[in-house]
Structure 1
Amino acid sequence: MLKFLLDENVPRKVKEFLESVGYVAEYSTKGLKNSQLASIAISGKYVLVTRDSDFANTILYPPGQFNGIIVLRVHPPRAEKLIEGISGLNNVFMPVSTMLKSLLKALRRC
């Protein structure tokens, strides 16, 4: 099962969405440096979810060291837009009909 580590800059609605579709999602401790966050993601075998574009730098954060890094570059960065962006990735892991039902449910709560 995929586990997601959410940076403090990711809205709670994204966490709720990931959990509603069956994934484990946890927030990192607030105030961590990027290097500390990266170490936790690597050692815990998490997929890191962040809005911090520094994590898109493949020299500083080589993709092969992580279970995954999702940098949410969605504007405006409202919860429903971020959920829409991350749910597109969900097609890889679950049937589309299940994903759409979950997304609609999450958006109704926004």
Structure 2
Amino acid sequence: MLKFLVDESTGRKLVSSLREKGYDTEYISEDLLGADDEIVLEEALKDDRILITNDKDFGEIVFRRKKHSKGVILLRLNIDNPENRLKLLLYVIEKLGVELSGKFLVISEAGIRMRKID
């Protein structure tokens, strides 16, 4: 089963909605409010969770600094509200499922870009 860690900037409403849908979801603000991005990524990896964020700095951390990750889903939305985040995220989770593991995804209204994390 997929497990997720939601970054604090992505929002509590998304966490609640994912939990209601039955997804094992943790919220970084519940335990590590204000944590550095690298710490957030380490926590996700330690707990075997895919990170959900709207902070594009994680792309640099994963690819340029070569930090390990279970996976990252980066939300880059023009209509950035909780309803749109949830709608697009659920679509991707249901469509790709376990294929999310080990990947860096960028989700926008225009589509999905997916890259393997080395």
TM-score, normalized by length of structure 2? 0.69
Q: Paired residue for 2:64?
A: 59
CA apart distance, 1:10: 1.3
Q: State the Cα distance separating 1:30 from its structure 2 match.
A: 1.2
The aligned counterpart of 1:35 is 38
The alignment's TM-score, normalised by the length of structure 1, stands at 0.73
- Pick the structure with greater CA Rg: 1
* 1:44 equivalenced with 2:47 (yes/no): yes
**Superposed displacement of residue 61, structure 1:** 5.0
Q: Is the contact made by 2:6 and 2:25 (CA closer than 8 Å) also made in structure 1?
A: yes
Structure 2: 5+ residue stretches without partners: 98-118
CA distance in 2, matches of 1:61, 1:84: 30
1:3-14 equivalent positions in 2, closer than 5 A: 3-14=3-14
Q: 1:61 and 1:53, CA in 2 relative to 1: closer, same or farther beyond 3 A?
A: farther
Displaced runs of 4 or more, over 6 A: none
Point out where structure 1 has 5 or more consecutive residues left out of the alignment: 94-110
